[in-house]
Structure 1
Amino acid sequence: MDLISPKDLKKLTEYTNDVCVSIFIATSRSGKEVLELHDKTRLKGKWDECKRKLENKGVAVEKIKKIDRPIQDLLNDSDFWRHQSDGLAIFASDSFFDKYTLPINFEDYVYVSKEFYLKPLAPILSGDGKFFILSLQLKDIKFYEATRYSIGEIKIDEITPSSLRDRVGYDYEEKNLQFRSQQEGEGHAIFHGHGAGGRDHKDEIFKFYKAIDDGLNKLLENEKAPLVIFCQDYMFPIYKEANTYNNLYDTPIPGNPNDVDIIGLHSKAVETVESYLNQEEKKKLKNYDDIPLSEKSAAVHDIIPAAFQGKIDALFLENRGEIWGTYDEENMKVKVQDKQTPENTSLMNLAAVKVLENKGAVYLVESPLMPEKEGKMNAILRYR
């Protein structure tokens, strides 16, 4: 996945051109849609729509051809279409091209203006609901930082043992020791062994996990995000006993780490921590009515200047809504217009970009769930 970083956001927000094209399509990770290249067909349809818009705007044929070339290269890249996530975002001009394969379900959309359209990326860029994943196997451990929309591996080899063998110092799979587990009663594992015995082997696993916990504590010293464990069922009670991190998630990710790649891991992790994700958004939506009038607004004419000044803590945008207009930053004047023109812009996109640049959160909300339903844009201010 080509995840978007703050550096990418800066690059996209700072870029301007007479013609900037933004295309969003839903894509499929697997199945019939991938085999039959439905995603490729969907992009071709949206690009054809975009070309018609460009032609209607009177854009020069040569400029359209320059925008077209990398998109055609992408359409002809069969390997690319076999490795998709949930959505594809493309940003192009005659001198710029970038694409992002992302774990977010976009609605198919085309935007042509003098700037790129970043509103659909708000859930990713807001970074709500960070958590950590520890993938545990006796021969290998991996550690990840994730959100609902992103995952990235963090190398921990220098602060933790990489395997039980590293911790124990001998071949823990010695022939006369058979270690296996099975669930009985209330899910307790049974350890079978010869020589040192199953109890000793469990103790060695505990020491291995304790060494991992000691190393992670150096990394997570000031963190509060949940730590979710991905391991086979019998391992979790042992790690839970060894753990000292104060926010260990009570439910492990089910399954065997050997059976999934990083995309599959992320999907299973998000499903496991669903109740935790987006807590901040839910809390702010719930408490919006109780916030003093001086600390919130549903007026576009107030929200846009506040976004430029870094005064917005949380911005709620109607997911399928749009507001067209212009903003005079020098005089802090907003003019709302009925439809898109060559001279105006999406005020919702403008507000989203400025709030994200100033480290605020942007939430895309369905119309019935907007805090103030008469407005397509609601904001909680950082200060009066």
Structure 2
Amino acid sequence: MLHTDIPTRGEILALASTTGPWCVSVYTPTEADTPTPDKNRVAFENQVKEVLDRVTDKQAGIALTDAFADLVDDEDYWRFQSRTLAVHATPTGMRTYRLPNRLEPSATLGDRFHIKPLLRAVTFPQTAFVLALSENAVRLVEVAAEGPAAEVAVAGLPTDLNKYLDLPPLGRGPHGRLQGSEGRKVRVRQFCRAVDQALRPVLAGHDIPLILAAAEPTDSLYRSVDSYPLLLAEGIPGNPEHLSDGDLAARARQLLDQHYAAELANVRSEFEKRRSDGRGVIDLSDIARAATYGIVHTLFVDIDASVPGAVTPDGALAAATGEAPGVLDEISRRVLLSNGRVLAVRGDDIPDGAHAAAILRYAP
């Protein structure tokens, strides 16, 4: 089982807003549930030592060293990992995320965090929840990009429609009661609403899709009361009682791939439409200025590329004066802080094979 902590948009914005002289970002590829967790820990510890050796402020160095030592010494934490561990720390605090994506190792020190690798996990998260819903059974299954699926315990989750069907007949005005198929439909919707309410505290704070596995009319009735905004429009049809967690995971991954491919194709199509009116740009200097002045609506950025340098306060590209995450990271940060959308994708997914491309809110 993968143990994931995928950051929400709010958490990423908090990281993007953090500035200071000693911002440390460490990304370490890990193995999930490895019988030798020290392998992950030693690799991480070596990266930390290398980056902390560059901290020249004594008090900041002591605070960072103590914080990282506490994490390294937490044996239980290292027993449960995902594909990549991301740690962002300052002398006053630390945030850790166990990501389902396999990212390249890196350790950076600067006046802000290196957040671009983190964006891959939230651009097209390869994790999802599957709600297997039928009249005789209900289960919530967590699915990751790799590895086995796992059922999630949900307190108060209704497991059987029968207790709703056994309730007294429904009154609907003074002249009659709901009976037959109409009454059953109302009871099934009540059952679905109770399931939705039980899921709320479990799904709260997650920014990953929910996929519904259900037969009709339960599928439509659940969707009519669902409160989770990331429920995919396409679900897994049929009675899920006959599908194992592994079967649900396999079908969910196919749906995720189709969903994200369609979403990316739509955004690329929008970019091509905007080129003619000056709102689709690929020149990095133009994108940097647009990001600085808050007019980037959507940014494509190459997750694997690195462009050394910095972006000045007025949006010009410049040589870096010290350690810095780089131009692409800073552009991404400015887009996020102006409420733009950042798609961290592979180079082949960016128009013209550029390092970045942007759809602007309006032509400059």
Q: Same fold (TM over 0.5)?
A: yes
* Most deviating of 41-50 and 9-18: 41-50
2:52 is the alignment partner of 1:15: no
Query: Structure 2 CA distance, aligned partners of 1:253 and 1:114?
Result: 53
2:234 to 240, 244, 249: 249
Residues of 1 paired with 2:143 and 2:295: CA distance?
28
RMSD: 4.6
Task: Give, as a single letter, the amino acid of the residue that structure 1 aligns with 2:18.
Answer: Y
Deviations 1:195-220 (A, max 9, x none): xxxxxxx999877544445779999x
1:275 maps to 2:254: no
Q: Is the 8 A contact 2:124 2:260 kept in 1?
A: no
The C-alpha deviation readout for 1:177-236, integer Å capped at 9, x for no partner, is xxxxxxxxxxxxxxxxxxxxxxxxx999877544445779999xxxxx9973336xxxx3
Matched residues in 2 for 1:107 and 1:75: separation? 20
Q: Give a deviation string over 1:244-267, Cα, whole Å, max 9, x none.
A: 759752534996699759xx9778
Distance change in 2, residues 1:23/1:265 (3 Å): farther
* Alignment pair present for 1:335 and 2:317: yes
Kindly state the Cα deviation for residue 118 of structure 1 after the two structures are TM-superposed.
0.8
The answer as to 2:211 corresponding to 1:228 is yes
Q: Could you say if the C-alpha distance between residues 281 and 129 of structure 1 is closer, same or farther in structure 2, counting changes exceeding 3 Å?
A: farther
SS at 1:322 equivalent: coil
Matches within 5 A, 1:159-174: 163-169=160-166
Alpha-carbon distance, 1:105 to partner: 2.5
Match of 1:48 among 46, 49, 57: 46
Paired residue type of 1:300? L
Kindly provide the amino acid, as one letter, of the partner of residue 119 in structure 2: A
1:198 aligned residue: none
**Separation in structure 2 between the aligned mates of residue 290 and residue 5 of structure 1, nearest angstrom:** 30
Aligned to 1:36: 36
Structure 2, unaligned stretches of length 5 or more?
147-151, 168-180, 200-207, 226-231
CA distance in 2, matches of 1:227, 1:315: 25
1:66-85 CA-partner distances (Å, limit 9, x unpaired)? 21223222222222123222
**Deviation digits for residues 69-102 of structure 1, max 9, x if unmatched?**
2322222222212322232210112222111123
Alpha-carbon distance in 1 for matches of 2:98, 2:144: 16
Question: What is the match of residue 326 of structure 2?
Answer: 346
Instruction: Tell me how far apart the structure 2 counterparts of residues 53 and 214 of structure 1 sit (CA, whole Å).
Output: 51
1:378 pairs with 2:361: no
- AA partner of residue 213 (structure 2): F
CA distance in 1, matches of 2:86, 2:192: 39
**Aligned partner of 1:354: which letter?**
R
TM-score by length of 1: 0.67
Instruction: Tell whether the 8 Å contact from 1:3 to 1:101 is kept in structure 2 after alignment.
Output: yes
Distance 1:118 1:278, change over 3 A: farther
321, 328, 337: which one aligns with 1:357: 337
Give the Cα–Cα distance (whole angstroms) in 2 for the partners of residues 369 and 127 of structure 1: 13
Aligned counterpart for 2:306 among listed residues 299, 316, 322: 322
Distance, in Å, in 2 between the alignment partners of 1:213 and 1:292 is: 46
Contact 1:161–1:211, Cα closer than 8 Å, also in 2: no
How many Å apart are 1:335 and its aligned residue?
A: 2.7
| Secondary structure class of the residue paired with 1:310 | coil
2:61 to 64, 70, 93: 64
Q: State which of 78, 89, 92 in structure 1 corresponds to 2:89.
A: 92
Describe the SS at the equivalent of 1:280. Answer: helix
Is the alpha carbon distance of 1:58 and 1:250 closer, same or farther for their aligned partners in structure 2, counting shifts above 3 Å? closer
Q: Is the 8 A contact 2:16 2:336 kept in 1?
A: no
1:110 equivalent in structure 2: 107
CA distance in 1, matches of 2:186, 2:82: 38
Are the counterparts in 1 of residues 26 and 108 from structure 2 also a CA contact under 8 Å? yes
- Alignment match of 2:8 (pick from 5, 10, 15): 5
Q: Determine which structure has greater relative contact order: mean sequence separation of CA pairs < 8 Å that are 6+ residues apart, divided by chain length.
A: 2
Provide the TM-score with structure 2 as the length reference.
0.71
The amino acid of 1:229's aligned partner reads L
Match of 1:367 in 2: 347
Q: Are the structure 2 counterparts of residues 241 and 48 from structure 1 closer, same or farther at C-alpha, using a change threshold of 3 Å?
A: closer
Q: Give the 3 Å change call, closer, same or farther, for CA 304–257 of structure 1 in structure 2.
A: farther
**Aligned pair in 2 of structure 1 residues 87, 336: CA closer, same or farther (>3 Å)?**
same
**Percent sequence identity over aligned pairs:** 19
Unaligned runs of 5+ in 1: 171-201, 220-224
Give the letter for the 1:118 counterpart: I
Partner of 2:173: none
More divergent stretch after superposition (99-108 vs 265-274): 265-274
Distance 1:203 1:355 in 2: 50
CA contact (8 A) 2:236 2:251 kept: no
Alignment match of 2:286 (pick from 302, 311, 315): 302
Question: Contact 2:300–2:358 (CA<8 Å) still a contact in 1?
Answer: yes
Query: Structure 1 residues 165 and 204 mapped into 2: Cα distance closer, same or farther (>3 Å)?
Result: farther
Tell me the CA shift for residue 133 of structure 1. 4.5
TM-aligned CA distance change 1:341 to 1:50, over 3 Å: farther
Structure 1 residues 10-19 or 44-53, which shifts more? 44-53
Which residue of structure 1 aligns with residue 28 of structure 2? 25
